[in-house]
Structure 1
Amino acid sequence: MADVAIEYDNPYAVFVPGYEVTGTVVMAVREPVKANSVLISVHGEAHTHWTIQEARTRMVTRTNAQGHHHTVSETYYVSVPYSGCTPYVDGSAIVWTPPSGLSTDHIPAGNYRFPFRFLLPVNCPVSFEGGYGYIRYYCKARIDRPWYKFDKTTKRVFTVIPPSDLNYIPNANSPLQISQTKETGVLFFKNGKINVTVKLPKGGFVPGEAIALEADIVNYSSQKIKNIRVKIVQCSHYIAYRGSEVVQPGTIPVGGLMRSPARREDHREVFRSEEKVEILKGATEKWTRMVPIPPTVASFNNCPIITVEYFLKMKVTTSGAVSTTISAQLPIIIGTIPIRQISVPPPPPPQPGGAPLYPQIPESSDAPPSYAECVFGAGKVKDQDETDEFTPRYPCYPNITPSAPPEEIEKM
């Protein structure tokens, strides 16, 4: 028979919207194979899915110990599926047909390489694997065999990464600050207040970069502060419909009385650290740490059924039999191209043709990024024909210089 594989020209299998996905269908035919054609296709979509347990009632007849029958109402539960789909890419091409105009012929034994190329639309959102859905792109090669129950197929997923340049996102380079004050103790046993002010040098970062976090902690309480926890949290939002619904790109999900969209959120910790401290009562301390950002998807909101945002969260906990926790959080933006201190010209619009490994960035910037597997690993939502697990890759700047707190923060 024949072995079929897909090889992408990009060794990381990473491509950019508005450019071409290029690769080769590789076939090793051990003995002649009767076939109508060999096809390669490309597909991409956002997909959401979950089930909801709904209570139903029914009347059932019961028999008591005396043999008397009576009818009662019984509650039971059914699983109701909710899903949504937004299509982005769907195309195919024939890479082999029988010679001499025949409808069917044999592919002779041997090794074959059939190159292919597909143009990605400019509106493709980033590849993403989440708890209640995904945005996934793949190519599928198929040997169309006559009189066989199943065709010979193979499928390979690839990553799509639109440029998310922090230099053109409003407020990405502006410092952030939030203050929280909380009374410690309970009811009539108040122990004084604790004030926490969290500062960030800017709001936009890229994977591989470290956030220079600075916190001013003022302990006016009679309790010691014993613990500080810092997290970067990814918050993903999903929209689905009872049964199923196709939502076209660029539209806003809507529904009628019976087709209103259902929504879910999923929170995942991108990074977490916890540290024992001892800040005595009446003390003031400036607490600084570098918070690393591992490989993760950039913030995005250009898909109608899936969006992703990020928050940096800090919790300060006191000691004592009744401890108190003070929480503060700031929204941050994750991009794919870091902030530069030099003037950056507007990016050119994508042109059809071969895609570079990654959009160009200014020469004075750090080295172009590597592509690292997502910190969350492979996606958990599977299709019926999924066999291999897929982990998307995202740009990562392991050697980027962390931003120091700017003067504006010091003056606040």
Structure 2
Amino acid sequence: MTAPFVTFNLQQAEAVFQGGSRIRGALCLVLTSPILVAGVEVRFHGTARASWREVVYSGTKSTEVEHEKEEIYFDDRFCLWGKVSQQIGWETREVLPAGKHSFPFQYRLPSNVPCSFEGIDGWVRYRMQGLVIRPDGEHLCTENLFTVLRELDLRKESLREMLEDHAERTVRGACCRPGRISCSVSLPKRFYVPGEALCVTANVDNVSVKRCGQCSLQIKQLVTYGGVHRYTVTMATSKLADTIRPGLCRKWKDDSLVVPPSCPSVVDTNQLITIAYCVSLEVSFPDSDLYAAVPILVTSVPDYSLGFASWTYELSGPCLPECRQSCSEPSKKHVTANGTGNGQGKFCPKYKAYRLEREKSMVVNLVQSPGVVRRESFTARGRENPVDNSDECAILIGRSDHAESRA
């Protein structure tokens, strides 16, 4: 006999939401036999957590100190069915017959929460939990992780100035004069969206008697926890050359480096986790690397100059190797990540990825835009008869004491 289980059925199949938007869906309970139920509740939780270790030196002694910080953005619980009070608890006792039972809900997310993020030592996660309370047995529970996005629009900012960085090092030989190896990297603007190609100009000048190693361009993500701990993730790489001989100067204009789906830049230093990006040119040597880098901003709204752009939700780049397994088998207690995680380890959020080229099929099937007069009439008609979707689901009953109203 199949055990009873509960699952979430969301109207937004992608499980990707903007801050301030509504989550609409239903908690579905499937029973193969009647059971006694005291109540049904749903919980929404958003939190950020980071933990790292650092070595503190005192004279000749060293001590490893472990740090852990957490921020809670919301933690709300709602009763979907039954009666509950603070003094007595769950008062309802009712036998639900076999079959499928659906408990609709809707929940408005806070508008000022940060974007979902998964890192090595920290994360920003949002989850919903459904709970069927049984007075005479184990409670039935299900939990879903979902993605929350926060728009970052920098089109009105003056960020179109040329960016450039230069680095050089002196190379000494055994029986000859010292030589010099220099590199530089430049970009025509500062902000980009996922899916956009970077038009990078790179130069390497080898005025020495030694051969340098591989030259490559990289997009790096710089994550800072608590303003003190930082680590770097390589998001994308483009190899320019395997080696550069002595006396040779090379110049590239590379547009093969594309920004992968990733979290928009987080520049608010008051948050627990801040995220920055840079484009670097690295020239390798046996003893060290020559490094030049320019900072960039990853946004969620494309530049006006890019023209037509369509987008889809795609998995974030750095988590892809670890998050291909999906946990979707229902049980008494299970965690699902909507096909983007294994429920126990890393969770891969989904971010906007833009397609900045107009496909031929889209041009052929493009419907002619109405004239100015018809467009104005359509707009006026929409204002007179607005569509209200607020009654598609039942409003949630109850709210946690510390939560603000988000109806």
Stretches of structure 2 lacking an aligned partner (at least 5 in a row): 84-89, 323-333, 336-342, 359-407
Q: What's the CA shift for 1:213?
A: 0.9
- The count of residues paired between Structure 1 and Structure 2 equals 328
Q: What's the CA shift for 1:275?
A: 4.1
Aligned to 1:407: none
Superposed counterparts of 1:347-362, under 5 Å: none
Q: What's the CA shift for 1:287?
A: 1.2
Q: What's the TM-score, normalizing by structure 2?
A: 0.72
| Equivalent AA in structure 2 for residue 276 of structure 1 | A
Q: What's the CA shift for 1:283?
A: 3.7
Q: How much is the aligned-residue C-alpha RMSD, in angstroms? A: 3.2
1:296 pairs with one of 258, 262, 283 = 262
Aligned to 1:82: 67
The structure-2 alpha-carbon separation of the partners of 1:145 and 1:394, relative to structure 1 and needing over 3 Å to count, comes to same
Q: Are 1:26 and 2:28 matched, yes or no?
A: yes
Q: What's the CA shift for 1:186?
A: 5.7
Q: Report the Cα distance in structure 1 between the residues aligned to 2:31 and 2:81, rounded to whole angstroms.
A: 14
Q: Report the Cα distance in structure 1 between the residues aligned to 2:201 and 2:62, rounded to whole angstroms.
A: 53
CA contact (8 A) 1:95 1:116 kept: yes
The structure-2 alpha-carbon separation of the partners of 1:397 and 1:19, relative to structure 1 and needing over 3 Å to count, comes to same
Q: Are 1:93 and 2:57 matched, yes or no?
A: no
SS at match of 1:301: coil
1:271 pairs with one of 222, 227, 236 = 236
Q: Report the Cα distance in structure 2 between the residues aligned to 1:119 and 1:35, rounded to whole angstroms.
A: 27
Aligned to 2:116: 127
| Equivalent AA in structure 2 for residue 313 of structure 1 | S
Q: Are 1:234 and 2:221 matched, yes or no?
A: yes
The structure-2 alpha-carbon separation of the partners of 1:324 and 1:306, relative to structure 1 and needing over 3 Å to count, comes to closer
Q: What's the CA shift for 1:189?
A: 5.0
Aligned to 2:353: 396
Q: Report the Cα distance in structure 2 between the residues aligned to 1:169 and 1:47, rounded to whole angstroms.
A: 31
Q: Report the Cα distance in structure 2 between the residues aligned to 1:105 and 1:12, rounded to whole angstroms.
A: 35
2:203 pairs with one of 211, 216, 219 = 216
CA contact (8 A) 2:131 2:141 kept: yes
Instruction: List per-residue Cα deviations over 1:199-228 (Å, max 9, x = no partner).
Output: 112111111111111113333323344521
Instruction: List per-residue Cα deviations over 1:97-121 (Å, max 9, x = no partner).
Output: 27xx972111221112222111111
| Equivalent AA in structure 2 for residue 221 of structure 1 | S
User: Which structure exhibits the higher relative contact order, with contacts defined as CA atoms closer than 8 Å and separated by 6 or more residues?
Assistant: 1
Q: Report the Cα distance in structure 2 between the residues aligned to 1:305 and 1:51, rounded to whole angstroms.
A: 16
| Equivalent AA in structure 2 for residue 21 of structure 1 | I
Q: What's the CA shift for 1:379?
A: 11
Q: What's the CA shift for 1:278?
A: 5.3
Aligned to 1:286: 251
Q: What's the CA shift for 1:277?
A: 4.5
| Equivalent AA in structure 1 for residue 220 of structure 2 | V
CA contact (8 A) 1:185 1:324 kept: no
Instruction: List per-residue Cα deviations over 1:24-54 (Å, max 9, x = no partner).
Output: 2122111112111111111101112245689
CA contact (8 A) 1:35 1:104 kept: yes
Q: What's the CA shift for 1:294?
A: 1.6
The structure-2 alpha-carbon separation of the partners of 1:44 and 1:190, relative to structure 1 and needing over 3 Å to count, comes to farther
Q: What's the CA shift for 1:123?
A: 1.0
Stretches of structure 1 lacking an aligned partner (at least 5 in a row): 56-74, 240-261, 343-363, 402-412
Q: Report the Cα distance in structure 2 between the residues aligned to 1:185 and 1:8, rounded to whole angstroms.
A: 65
Q: Report the Cα distance in structure 2 between the residues aligned to 1:162 and 1:54, rounded to whole angstroms.
A: 37
Q: What's the CA shift for 1:285?
A: 2.8
SS at match of 1:299: coil
More deviation, 388-397/306-315: 388-397
Aligned to 2:146: 158
SS at match of 1:341: helix
CA contact (8 A) 1:234 1:268 kept: yes
Q: What's the CA shift for 1:181?
A: 2.7
CA contact (8 A) 1:192 1:221 kept: yes
Q: Report the Cα distance in structure 2 between the residues aligned to 1:279 and 1:133, rounded to whole angstroms.
A: 39
Q: What's the CA shift for 1:233?
A: 1.3
Q: What's the CA shift for 1:187?
A: 8.4
Q: Are 1:340 and 2:340 matched, yes or no?
A: no
More deviation, 134-143/389-398: 389-398
| Equivalent AA in structure 1 for residue 109 of structure 2 | L
Q: Report the Cα distance in structure 1 between the residues aligned to 2:81 and 2:320, rounded to whole angstroms.
A: 33
CA contact (8 A) 1:166 1:205 kept: no
SS at match of 2:228: strand
Instruction: List per-residue Cα deviations over 1:246-277 (Å, max 9, x = no partner).
Output: xxxxxxxxxxxxxxxx8322211111233434
Q: Report the Cα distance in structure 2 between the residues aligned to 1:76 and 1:104, rounded to whole angstroms.
A: 60
Q: What's the CA shift for 1:168?
A: 3.8
1:37 pairs with one of 36, 39, 63 = 39
Give identity over the alignment, percent: 25
Q: Report the Cα distance in structure 2 between the residues aligned to 1:281 and 1:53, rounded to whole angstroms.
A: 42
